[in-house]
Amino acid sequence: MADPTRSLAVLVIEDDAGVSEVVRRQLERRGHTVTVAASAEEGLRQVASRAFDCILLDNGLPGDMGITALPELAARTQAPIIMITGYPNEDVVKDALLLGAKAFLPKPLDLAELERRIVQLCEGK
């Protein structure tokens, strides 16, 4: 059984500063260390430079879309990837899961559901 108080290194790839700040604060309150990247390219650089326990990836990013960067991101890390988007649809959800995401959450984010998914996917890995 995983230690529920284990501190995780979480990468949040999100270009909306308001969303990333809310998520960062919520996760840091739980004792996790949070790194924020504002683009897929920046997120890939972060993954190349250090290990993360969990990754939150927005789909609507400047430059490469999250869904476009997802296969490369999944190939570079063992960390579970949770895809998030403000424009969910059945095709994007299906594609994200096929390309390596372990879960998919719509925005606005339900922070309780986000925490549940992180516990389920990341704390227990």
Is position 85 within any domain? yes
pLDDT tens digits along 62-110: 888 999 999 999 999 999 999 999 888 899 899 999 999 999 999 999 9
Query: In terms of DSSP bridges, do strands 81-85 and 103-106 run parallel, antiparallel, or are they unpaired?
Result: parallel
Evaluate whether residue 18 is within a structural domain: yes
Q: Is residue 4 part of a domain?
A: no
Domain count within the chain = 1
Instruction: For tokens 């501190």, name the residue.
Output: 7
Helix (H) or strand (E) holding 9: strand 9-13
Domain presence at residue 51: yes
**Domain, as residue range, for 66:** 9-123
Q: What is the pLDDT of residues 22-70, one digit of tens each?
A: 999 999 999 999 999 999 999 999 999 999 999 999 999 988 899 999 9
Asked, for residue 112, whether it belongs to a domain, the answer is yes
Average per-residue pLDDT for the chain:
91
Residue carrying structure tokens 């972060």 = 46
Whether 19 maps to a domain, the answer reads yes
In this structure, is residue 96 part of a structural domain? Answer: yes
CATH number at residue 116: 3.40.50.2300
d(CA 121, CA 97): 14
The pTM score is 0.92
- Residue 3 falls within a domain, yes or no? no
Q: 55 has which bridge partners?
A: 11, 81
